[in-house]
Structures are given as C-alpha cells and as structure tokens.
Amino acid sequence: TISSLNNQSYKDVEHIISDGGSSDRTLEIVGKQRYCETKLRVGKDIGVYDAINKGIEVSTGDIVGLLHSDDEYSYNRVLSDVVKIFSNSEVDFIYGDLNYVTREDTAKIVRYWKSGTFDHARLLRGWVPPHPTLFVRRSVIENFGMYDPGFKISGDYEYMLRLFKSKGLNFCYLPRVLVNMRVGGVSNRNLKNRIKANLEDRLAWKNNSFNPKWYTLFLKPIRKLPQFFMSPPVEQIKRQEKIPLSPVYSQVF
C-alpha cells in the first residue's frame, strides 16, 4: 500500500496510517518505508469505522480517500485524475471501478466490479459502488458527519447510502479501475459475517429513512455474482492512464 502511494504521480498527499495495535509488523514496515508526509495514529479503537474516523480527525487535506491495508491504486495517475475532477468546485464526491485480486499476486484479477452510473431505481435494486474507490470533499464530511462506529461491517454501506440520499450533492462516476483490492474482506469472510452484514444493512436503511423494496435485501448480494464472471478489460486497464478522462456527473435530487 505504501509503495502504491509512493508511485503516484500526484505528490501533494498527506498519508494517515491508523493502527489499532496490530501484530502484523505494521509499525516495523512503516518505520522502514513510508510516504514523506506520513502521520501515524496508534491506539485502541472499537472497530474499523472508529479507526477510520480517528484517521480523518487528524487529517487536514481537502479531499479524503481511504486505502485499506494491503490494497493499492491500480495505476500511477489515480490521484492526479481524482484531483483534476475535484478542480470542478461543484463536485462533492467521486467513485469508480474496482478489481478484486489474489493476495499473492495483485496482477491476477478474480473479480471485476464495474460500478456504472447512479440512479434511485438501481439503489432500490441493491446497487452500491465499491467503497475503496470513494473520494469525498472534506466539506461534505463536515456537513454530513463521519462513519458510524456502531456498525461493525456495513458502516461503509451506511455512509454511501447517506451520501446518495442527501439532496443537492453533486458527484461523479469515473469509469476506470481505481483500486486493486485483495480478496478477504470482513463482510465476505464467512456466512456468519454475511448474515450480520445483511442485518446491519437494514439498520443503515432505518438510519437514513430509506424505504427499500422487499427485494432490495436479496438483490444486494445477488447482484455481485456477475462480477465473478465479467471479463475485466485488461488491455484497457493497462493503458487507462493514457486514455482521456470521461467522468459522468450526477446530482442527488
């Protein structure tokens, strides 16, 4: 993850590492290899979303993005492209596409998540973009709050639902693979976690006064199945940093 950040062409980055007392040599690795503008937050937390919030609290940047442990940006101009889109002062947040890759080889794609554009009908059918590709303007976080630490698995879904249900926000879909995410996320780790995630999804709806259809709960995990069979545009991914940007702008009405 640190190497991925160091390889980005855009350098005006503040890297916050939030570590809750892990035993996976994180501090040792950070000591040997770190981004020049790194702040390390070490201390106990009550879960991943609490750790994210504490990282955001010590950050000062105008744009906030999250890159989870062992994940990486898919090409060297990801942050440059994101900043270029945010140069439009009306854009509040951005999301894109994502590749799931094997833990041993990030060049081996096992699942391709193409987000596509937003509309309310798709939201009711369980649609949601991949959270690791989300970049949010700081003013939005100040106005709409941070992640709810009461969630253990679906806090990212609740947060994105909060954004997509907030009237007047302008956002952009960038049709590019922004992040390579290693397989093994918490929500998909086992059946127990998947059931817990579904229960938390219901709480996310309630907290955001979202009235889903009876089929929303069932379609949310089911709509991910085609991702295992979609063929990622490998050649396009290899040269996407050379292709002109084609962002799709939208607004929550």
Contact 96, 171 (CB under 8 A): no
Better-predicted residue by pLDDT, 27 or 109: 109
- Concatenated DSSP letters of 196-252: HHHHHHHHHHHHTT----TTHHHHHHHTTGGGGTSPP-HHHHHHGGGSPP--EEEE-
Residue pLDDT, tens place only, 213-240? 989 988 988 888 888 888 777 777 777 7
Q: Measured between alpha carbons, how far is 63 from 155 in angstroms, rounded to an integer? A: 20
Q: Which pair of structure tokens corresponds to residue 201?
A: 């999804």
Q: What is the pLDDT of residue 253?
A: 58
Does position 106 have pLDDT exceeding 80, yes or no? yes
Which pLDDT value is given to residue 188?
56
Report pTM: 0.91
Minimum mean pLDDT range among 12-21, 140-149, 150-159, 224-233: 224-233
Lowest-confidence range among 27-41, 157-171, 202-216, 219-233?
27-41
Contact between residue 146 and residue 53 where contact means Cβ atoms under 8 Å apart: yes
Residues 115-137: what's their mean pLDDT? 94
CA 15 to the chain's CA centroid = 16
pLDDT band at 191 (very low <50, low <70, confident <90, very high): low
Residue 189 has pLDDT above 60, yes or no: no
Average per-residue pLDDT for the chain: 88
* Confidence class for position 205, pLDDT limits 50, 70, 90: very high
Residue 158: how many other CB atoms lie within 10 Å: 22
Question: How high is the pLDDT of residue 49?
Answer: 95
Q: What angle do CA 26, 70, 78 make, to 5 degrees?
A: 125
CA distance 160 to 169: 12
Q: CA 153, CA 186: separation in Å to the nearest integer?
A: 7
pLDDT at 225: 87
Mean pLDDT value of segment 91-105: 94
Residue 215's alpha-carbon distances to 126, 144, 166, in angstroms, are 8, 28, 23
Provide the pLDDT confidence category of residue 135 given band limits of 50, 70 and 90.
very high
| Among 249, 206, 200, CA closest to 220 | 200
pLDDT exceeds 90 at position 34: no
pLDDT of 153: 92
SS (H, E, C) 144-174: HCCCCCCCCCCHHHHHHHHHHCCCCCEEEEE
